[in-house]
Chains A and B, each alone.
Chain A
Amino acid sequence: MRISALIKRISRQLLRDKRTLALMFVAPLLILTLMYFLFNGNTVDPKLGVVGVEHSLVQGLEKVDIKVKEYEKATKNTVVDDHLDGLLQVDATTGKMTLTLQNDDPSKAKALQMKISQVAAAQVQAKLIQQNPAGAANLIAAKMKTKYVYGDKDTVFFDVLSPILVGFFVFFFVFIISGIGLLRERTTGTLERLMSTPIRRWEIVTAYLTGYGIFAVIQTIIVVTFSITILDIVLVGSIFHVILINLLLALVALSLGILLSTFAASEFQMMQFIPIAVVPQVFFAGIFPLDGMANWLQAIAKIMPMYYAGDALKAVMYKGMGLGEISGDLIALMIFAAIFIVLNILALKKYRTL
């Protein structure tokens, strides 16, 4: 009875606050859409200047989408002046090749370098075949066929990133809104006023979790459905498992947000928890490979809820795993939520010991 009255009140307050509702339901979609377009943008073909390069090699380069511009003579300055990504020079006497890379974007420079050496190697190979046609059969047979355990040849980074992003946005927005919700109750004195009624501390925590939980469920369903149907994010496993993981994650965010609001005196101080409690979660969510991290960093990852959620979401959405394989992650999330909930009930002792 008391719990339902509280839940009713919380929902009513949230429903009247249109801006907060928009933040909760629309903002994650906006950011996800933006990220989607950012990561799926067409790559610009690299521009390469060449000096003294054979015609067949130029053709080979153009075949792999490199814009080739031929020069009589060129220096380092040509690269800068003509906005070239690289400059390939072949010494007329020795036949030695020199590649000058602009390298303002290291990953672009590395990709260009790789393409050029591949094309150059292919040229050499072709020449060898011409000289020795008998060996050609062997070479063709050696051509590699690639198979993929997860995803396919069209998989892009966004496909691996998106499950983590979906989870993170659910975590972030639920954290902020629930935390500030209870904080407002503290600063306006209504929480103290509540404590002068016969309500029990666990009833308040339960009502808060359920009240905001309802909105978190709606948010999760909107975000997940939007990402899968409209953004066409890869989903190999079951959508229900995705929703289940996100709900558990939302519960953790909810209880953590409410708990941390205990230690904030104002909305501004609540915001200060974002770089401490929320941002680090992203680093350990699986965007950066954990295996390469130092041992102590790996230990930190293990106490981050997003680590488990990211792992589970990636497993279901990208690798198509079932409940059995992610049960460990789910249990970890439940443990986090349970700990935070108990701490919340204890934290309310500040207002009344009973």
Chain B
Amino acid sequence: MNPTIVVENVTKSFGKKPVLNEINVTIESGQLYGLIGPSGAGKTTLVKMIVGMEKSDAGSIHVLDKKMPNLAILQEIGYMAQSDALYAELTGEENLKFFASLFKLSKSAQKQRIAYAADLVNLTPDLKKRVSAYSGGMKRRLSLAIALVQDPKLLILDEPTVGIDPELKLSIWNELLRLKNEEGKTIIVTTHVMDEAERCDVVAMVRNGRILASGTPTELKDSYHVGSLDEVFLKAGVNQA
């Protein structure tokens, strides 16, 4: 089976400022792939390009064997943006329903998926409330539910656990692992928290628009002869400089 995502020699700059430099990423089907790096490293730009919302200056991106941008492939991508892009005047349920109706989904499947996604993020009791009355964590959870609503093969989550309490964070990670293991979904997660990175199958460390190092967390630690990913990050950064 071909890899789910192949990013080849992608370069991007905003004006004169280079954001991504000769990025190569291959993500196999069913992998939980972590993009780690400080803010401003280019993680969001990279995931936006994979979704097809940003154009690369050079290089190519293939998702599920289709060159991006491709509208049909978007049906198979569940995207959760870094900022909560929600309609505050609408209720949580109306938000879910609205986004669900943008995808090809039968009426009954839509209902079932909305119930599933809301339950997953513990929002079922709050669905009838307007989003303007939601807390930051609730908004984050609703965004995640929306990303899951059309049952996509590929999940792209941009900092999914920011502003979420530890308990819920744990349950979200457990669910991500379940989605990967039981439903065979491919998941990309960006984060700047190292303990989250430990849970990924493959980790890519991004800084200044370059991938410093990538591999399984164990491989990375072994090759740099250190005990934690934090130290890997520091060492890899030194090597680059």
Known contacts A196-B77, A351-B53; decide if A9 and B87 are in contact (CB<8 Å): yes
Contacting pair B102 A194 (CB below 8 A): yes
User: A interface, how many residues as a size bin?
Assistant: 20 to 34
CB neighbors of B among A1-53 (8 A): 1-2, 5-6, 8-9, 12-13, 16-17
Which residues from B are CB-within-8-Å of A12? 89-90, 94
Contacting pair B89 A352 (CB below 8 A): no
Contacting pair B81 A189 (CB below 8 A): yes
**How far, in whole Å, are A350 and B32 apart by their CA atoms in the complex?**
30
Return the chain B residue nearest A15 by Cβ.
Answer: B89
Contacting pair A352 B53 (CB below 8 A): yes
Return the chain A residue nearest B72 by Cβ.
Answer: A198
Contacting pair B74 A197 (CB below 8 A): yes
> Does any Cβ of A come within 8 Å of B184's Cβ?
no
Which residues from A are CB-within-8-Å of B1? none
> Does any Cβ of A come within 8 Å of B75's Cβ?
yes
Which residues from A are CB-within-8-Å of B55? 353
Which residues from A are CB-within-8-Å of B70? 354
Return the chain A residue nearest B88 by Cβ.
Answer: A188
> Does any Cβ of A come within 8 Å of B99's Cβ?
yes
Known contacts A196-B79, A352-B69; decide if A190 and B85 are in contact (CB<8 Å): yes
Rank and list the top 7 A-B pairs by shortest CB-CB distance, nearest first: A193-B85, A189-B85, A5-B101, A196-B79, A197-B102, A198-B74, A190-B85
Q: Determine which of A2, A351, A352 lies in contact with B102 in the assembled complex, contact meaning CB atoms within 8 Å.
A: A2
19 of the cross-chain contacts (CB-CB < 8 Å) are A2-B102, A8-B98, A9-B87, A17-B89, A189-B83, A190-B85, A193-B81, A193-B85, A194-B102, A196-B51, A196-B53, A196-B79, A197-B102, A198-B104, A199-B102, A200-B71, A351-B53, A352-B52, A353-B69
Whole-angstrom distance from the CB of A218 to the nearest CB of chain B?
A: 19
Known contacts A12-B90, A352-B53; decide if A197 and B103 are in contact (CB<8 Å): yes
**How far, in whole Å, are A25 and B71 apart by their CA atoms in the complex?**
39
> Does any Cβ of A come within 8 Å of B86's Cβ?
yes
Return the chain A residue nearest B146 by Cβ.
Answer: A193
Which residues from B are CB-within-8-Å of A188? 83, 85-88
Contact with A along B40-79 (1 / 0, CB 8 A): 0000000000011101000000000000011110110101
Q: Total number of A-B contacts with CB less than 8 angstroms? A: 73
Return the chain A residue nearest B156 by Cβ.
Answer: A196
Which residues from B are CB-within-8-Å of A1? 101
Task: Classify the secondary structure of B's interface with A.
Answer: loop
Whole-angstrom distance from the CB of B59 to the nearest CB of chain A?
A: 15
**How far, in whole Å, are A12 and B86 apart by their CA atoms in the complex?**
14
Whole-angstrom distance from the CB of A186 to the nearest CB of chain B?
A: 10
Return the chain B residue nearest A196 by Cβ.
Answer: B79
Contacting pair A13 B89 (CB below 8 A): yes
> Does any Cβ of B come within 8 Å of A332's Cβ?
no
CB neighbors of A among B166-213 (8 A): none
- A9-B87, A16-B130, A190-B87 known; 18 other A-B pairs, CB under 8 Å? A2-B102, A5-B101, A5-B102, A12-B94, A13-B87, A188-B83, A190-B85, A193-B81, A193-B85, A193-B99, A194-B102, A196-B74, A196-B77, A196-B81, A197-B103, A198-B103, A199-B102, A200-B71
Return the chain A residue nearest B143 by Cβ.
Answer: A193
> Does any Cβ of B come within 8 Å of A267's Cβ?
no
Whole-angstrom distance from the CB of A22 to the nearest CB of chain B?
A: 15
> Does any Cβ of B come within 8 Å of A70's Cβ?
no
Which residues from A are CB-within-8-Å of B87? 9, 13, 188, 190
Contact with A along B85-124 (1 / 0, CB 8 A): 1111110001000110111100000000000000000000
Q: Determine which of B53, B72, B77 lies in contact with A192 in the assembled complex, contact meaning CB atoms within 8 Å.
A: B53
> Does any Cβ of B come within 8 Å of A120's Cβ?
no
Known contacts A5-B98, A354-B69; decide if A195 and B85 are in contact (CB<8 Å): no
Which residues from A are CB-within-8-Å of B74? 196-198
Contacting pair A198 B75 (CB below 8 A): yes
Return the chain B residue nearest A188 by Cβ.
Answer: B85
Whole-angstrom distance from the CB of B96 to the nearest CB of chain A?
A: 12
**How far, in whole Å, are A253 and B206 apart by their CA atoms in the complex?**
46
Contacting pair A197 B99 (CB below 8 A): yes
Which residues from B are CB-within-8-Å of A351? 53
Return the chain B residue nearest A198 by Cβ.
Answer: B74
**How far, in whole Å, are A353 and B51 apart by their CA atoms in the complex?**
12
Return the chain B residue nearest A9 by Cβ.
Answer: B98
Contacting pair B90 A9 (CB below 8 A): yes
Which residues from A are CB-within-8-Å of B101? 1-2, 5
Which residues from A are CB-within-8-Å of B79? 193, 196
**How far, in whole Å, are A217 and B98 apart by their CA atoms in the complex?**
24
Contacting pair A354 B52 (CB below 8 A): yes
Which residues from B are CB-within-8-Å of A13? 87, 89-90
**How far, in whole Å, are A264 and B44 apart by their CA atoms in the complex?**
23
Whole-angstrom distance from the CB of B78 to the nearest CB of chain A?
A: 9
Whole-angstrom distance from the CB of B15 to the nearest CB of chain A?
A: 15
Which residues from A are CB-within-8-Å of B72? 198
Which residues from A are CB-within-8-Å of B69? 352-354
**How far, in whole Å, are A6 and B98 apart by their CA atoms in the complex?**
7
Which residues from A are CB-within-8-Å of B89? 12-13, 16-17
Which residues from A are CB-within-8-Å of B83? 188-189
**How far, in whole Å, are A194 and B77 apart by their CA atoms in the complex?**
13
**How far, in whole Å, are A106 and B189 apart by their CA atoms in the complex?**
74
Whole-angstrom distance from the CB of B14 to the nearest CB of chain A?
A: 13
